[in-house]
Amino acid sequence: MPDRHKQTKSKYTLDRNIPGAFEGETVTRRQLMNLWANGVGGVAAAAFTLPALGFAIAPIFKRQAWSWQTIGTPADFSQSTYQTKVITITPGIGEAGNTIAYVRQRDPNIDKEPGDQYNQYVALSSRCMHLGCPVRYVSAAERFICPCHGGVYDFRGMVAGGPPVRPLDRFYTRVSDGMVQIGPRYSVNNELHRFSPRFPGEPLDGVGQFLYPAQFDTAKKP
């Protein structure tokens, strides 16, 4: 049975007869070097880990302002083809903050998803939902084509072939004071249900809608 009355070892290195000890010292040089090496290792690990962690979770906290941009009059758009419009999605950084939207009037014969005050026109993003490469609309074929990896979308922006995991993203639209306006981007699944914006390559059908963080907005919808 251990001796309960065993004297506690002194915290001072001099009392423990450690070579090179001096009065009042409580940490040996070896212990000090170990602490220093562990501290340097921790800083180095954090320098690699924290940026990667921030990149992984940043989409959860990304904020997208709710704003409207005027893109024309109702007479500028038809149901049979798309008009190309350049819009700003990231203000303050010049042309790098611009993107292309393909816009047309809703056609009740093919656009069966419910329409509302923010869905009066069909406005499709030009980013392929495979890796984000730009797509272009080929009017003769009524198809959106991604030249990078062979992604193909039909007239409604639904996947018709290739590797894209979901339909083209869309933008909210409305008519205000007789002018057509375009709002923030949103993502859709294969049934055209709306979701907060997701990155290319992130499917939104089945469990996919729960696996990827949404990019929330902070501004209150009008």
Percent of the chain with pLDDT over 70: 73
Residue pLDDT, tens place only, 44-102: 777 767 776 666 566 555 555 568 999 999 999 999 999 999 999 888 888 888 999 99
Residue pLDDT, tens place only, 167-222: 999 999 999 999 999 999 999 999 999 998 999 999 999 887 788 777 655 444 54
CA 104 to chain centre: 26
Q: What is the rounded distance in angstroms from the CA atom of residue 213 to the CA atom of residue 55?
A: 12
Mean pLDDT of 122-136: 96
Given this model, what pLDDT does residue 220 score? Answer: 44
Contacts of 58 (CB under 8 A, 6+ apart): none
Given this model, what pLDDT does residue 58 score? Answer: 60
Percent of the chain with pLDDT over 90: 52
Q: What is the rounded distance in angstroms from the CA atom of residue 192 to the CA atom of residue 187?
A: 8
3-state secondary structure of 36: helix
